Amino acid sequence: MRVCFLYDEIGSRKLNEGYLKELSESGVEVSPFRSSRGLKHRFQLNFRNHRKIAVVDGKQGWIGGFNVGNEYLGKSAKHGPWRDTHLKVQGPCVLGLQEAFWEDWHWATGAVITLNWHAESHPQQDQQVVIVPSGPADKQDTAGLLVQQLIHSANQRFWVTSPYFVPDQGVQDSLRLAAMRGVDVRVMIPERPDHLLVFLSAFSFLPDMLKAGVKIYRYQPGFLHQKVMLIDHSSATVGTVNLDNRSFRLNFEITAFIPSADFANDVATMLEADFSKCRRVTLDEVSQRPMWKKVVSRAAYLMAPVQ
């Protein structure tokens, strides 16, 4: 069996070299994504592979927020229980995940690997799944445009969970407009910060969000890392895109869009359970902060895109 393991060299900078050597000696083909390629390509260092993909024989695939680490097992004293969502897919849509991995592997190694490209049928033939890869090589800002389109298409509700919530102006405007036209807009973010600048920067624009009717919730039990969007009662997404500029413009990301009422109902049930473990942020909480905290939050917002 051929096993190919690709990892983001920046995000996995603490990865033990001995572990990688052990994998290689066991026959696993291991490669970093190679964001850094010397001085000639030094400006690519900020491009990160944030995708979390697993594909087996071109028949089964997994996509979502899960990385591999002790914190995902709830072993981090700092973050506590880790809340994430991953999705298993089968059928022809798996080839969309496989294509993204194939391209990433070719970028990292220069090698062209032979894979199974025969689309496997699945008993649930009428289920549609659209795999949407995105990244800095795209001609358009695919991830940001996808999020805005989903917000604009919502008529009853738009619920989104994101560990890093520093949306660009276009997404901020879309969220506020949706709330003002009567859509139930809910944003779930962590209570416990993972990156301090990202955490602080949210306070600079949350007042305008809250005034427009956007509901902000902070997840309490542990660190919230899932990236899920629910649109009305008809569709939902699971993937790797956060609502921030890094995901929109710098990271290589991937999203599964499922236009299914049954799937949307399952996601709604899952998110309702999560919302029950959140506290809702109030306008007074963010607007009555001391002036120095507001200045710090604004400075953090300006710096957040490069973090």
SS3 89: strand
21 is catalytic: no
SS3 36: coil
Element holding 165 (H helix, E strand): strand 165-166
152 is catalytic: no
Candidate list 84, 232, 244, 274, residue with the active-site label: 232
253 Rama class: left (phi>0) / alpha (psi -120 to 50) / beta: beta
SS3 151: helix
Candidate list 8, 52, 79, 84, residue with the active-site label: 52
Candidate list 79, 84, 104, 225, residue with the active-site label: 225
79 is catalytic: no
86 is catalytic: no
Q: How many CA atoms lie within 13 A of 201 on its CB side?
A: 22
Candidate list 21, 41, 57, 88, residue with the active-site label: 57
Across 10-102, the runs of DSSP E, i.e. the strands, are 29-32, 48-49, 53-56, 60-64, 82-83, 86-90
* Residue positions annotated with a catalytic role: 50, 52, 57, 225, 227, 232
